[in-house]
Amino acid sequence: MNTIRIAILFAVLSGLAIGAAGATPSLIPKPMKVTAGEGTFQITPETNVLYAAGLADAADYLAGRLSLAFGKPVAARPARGTTVPSGAVLLTAAGADAKLGAEGYSLTVSKNGVSICAAKAPGAFYGAITLLQLAPPAAFRAPAMVEGVLGGKQTVKPPRPCDEPNIAGAKPVGSLAVPCATVVDKPRFQWRGLLIDPARHFWTIDELKQYVDYMAIHKLNSLQIHLTDHQNWCAEIMKYPALTPEKRLNEADPDRVARQTYHKLARHYYTQKELKSLVAFAAKRFVNIVPEFEMPGHSGAFLRGCPQCGCTVGGKQMRGGEVCPGKEKTYQVLQGMLDEMLEVFPSRYIHIGADECGKRNWRKCTDCQKRMRAEGLKDVTQLHGYFVGRMSKYLQGKGRTLVGWDEILESGAKAGAIGMYWRSGRSDNIVKKASANGQYLVMTPTAHCYFDYWQSPDKKSEPQGFGRSVITMKKAYELEPLPDYIKKTNPKLVLGAQANLWGERMKSFPHILYQTYPRACALSEVAWSPPEGRNYAEFHARLLLHLKRLDAAGINYRQPTDIDKPK
């Protein structure tokens, strides 16, 4: 039996892999450096959680988690000094290593207290997450989201096992024993993301908040929300009220709303007040909300609300899912919509999609042909590039950065914008050429990062995935976001990695969690941890304990099977 398998066996038998001096903590994602100590520190409801100026959000989150674990309130209070009082947990910036960056931290657990030292608030938050992971799984005790209500009750029998919420069975504990250790850590990439798609199947704002909370446990920091597509427009726009979906869904198909999920929802769009509350909730967990408003393609819902932005041929309005990039009216309406949304979403990054744009109408449209002649554009691909460039310039003028799928690079690199590589194999040359011209990228390839795909070849035992492809947890873990051709030139061009969960097949919130976890655990490690020494077998061993944390937190997930075992 080799060393790796011995380590796995030890982890399984002990159920911990954290208690003994010298043992590697079962932390996910794996930190940069861990040094185990002797003994433990006991966190109790009486433990003081203290914080320095600027670190209140991290301390409040930690105290809130401890309150749930104990079933008793634990308060965070401002610290009076920079040294750890006996029996306390201190979050401080004093003595922080600037080389660890804004998201890095050092964590020291001794028998007498805990110090979380970070130069910036995000680092203090991630240090608090690591502290909670060092503790027993009960540290993540929380109610499950049931039918859109946190801690709610089932009123409808879920139709499939994947739709069953993971109702947390963890009971309050009197104390949490944390092994003494020192952790020095920082992320490999700044963009560590997931995408969720309420345009296809709608999730309530409270469900989105819980999705954010579950991301934070894994040090994921970017949630892209696909708010618009052919099927639905999910964001309230005061200037264009015709975009709100019920005005068309109920008139066209009164039963469609009831079919969206297995339990009925009142409506299928978010008010601006709700979206602002989500942004604020996420900010306290250092998760950035990246809204996606599809343009110029995937715009069926937009055109139903604003038909004047579609193409015309011989004075006749054309059918299709692409806006008209020839009409000046199109830019006026889209920019007016964006102006409202920029007040809701403070994110530097605004995603416009720009993928899978048919362009068929553009070849015939009077306004498109006129625009191409005026701008000296050779074909509709360049017209697509003109549209993207113009929207990018508009967003830059507002202090924002445009993000789009890799189709934005078909007409060349887009300075000041970010491309998302998704078409594994098909767009490799496009992305390679764009990177040679200094294009910033986020890696989210279909080969590793499409979590709406099947999780196992055993399709009889799995809920239906999208398409025919299979992405196992091991496949997700094998992603290397930094290609050799970029590593050799400018590795800073790759901002990070993201997994996408398109919503066509996911009809309940527990189902989307089932598709997310534990594959998102693998993604978090790929995006956070150093690549040196990465080993799936060792990760799998740590995951066995981590699943108990998911149970305590009320997170539904797919139980690993033989396909997920290290070979």
Where in the sequence numbering do the catalytic residues fall? 229, 298, 356
The per-residue DSSP string of 386-439 comes to: HHHHHHHHHHHHTT-EEEEEGGGGTTS--TT-EEEE-STTTTHHHHHHHHHTT-
Cβ neighbours of 433 (radius 10 Å)? 13
Q: Determine the Cα–Cα distance for residues 284 and 279; give it in Å rounded to an integer.
A: 9
The neighbouring-strand residues paired with 498 are: 193
Do residues 499 and 519 make contact, with C-beta atoms less than 8 angstroms apart? yes
Local structure of residue 255 (DSSP, 8 states)? T
Strands of the sheet containing 176-185, edge to edge, are 33-43, 176-185, 105-109, 114-117, 88-92, 48-51, 76-78
Distance CA 68, CA 553 (A): 10
- Tell me the angle at which helices 272-283 and 328-344 cross, rounded to the nearest 10 degrees: 50
Helix (H) or strand (E) holding 127: helix 121-134
Contact between 198 and 211 under an 8 Å Cβ cutoff? The reply is no
**How far apart are the C-alpha atoms of 68 and 217, rounded to whole Å?**
15
Helices and strands (H, E) in the chain, number of each type? 18, 19
Residue 234, amino acid: C
CA distances from 171 to 69, 289, 470, 510 (A): 8, 32, 37, 22
d(C-alpha 407, C-alpha 385), whole Å: 9
CA–CA gap between residue 196 and residue 502 (Å, rounded) = 6
